[in-house]
Structure 1
Amino acid sequence: MDFVSGLPLTPTKKDSVWVAIDRLTKSTHFVRIRTDYSLQKLAKLYVSKIVRLHGCWEEHLPMVEFGYNNSFRSSIQMAPYEALYGRKCCSPLCVIEVSERKLIGPVSTGQKSYADLKHKDIEFNVGDFVFLKVSPWNNVLRFG
Structure 2
Amino acid sequence: MVPYEAIYGRRCRSTIGWFEVGQVSLIGPKLVHKAIEKIQLIRERLRTAQSRQNSYADVRIRYLQLEVHDWVYLKISSMKGVMRFRKKGKLSPCFIGSYQILRCVGKVAYELEFSNELASVHPVSHVFMLRNVLGIQHP
Shorter-chain TM-score above 0.5 = no
Higher-helix-fraction structure: 1
Q: Which has the larger radius of gyration?
A: 1
Q: With the length of structure 1 as denominator, give the TM-score of the two structures.
A: 0.26
As a proportion of its length, which structure holds more strand? 2
Report which structure shows greater RCO (CA 8 Å, sep ≥6).
Answer: 2
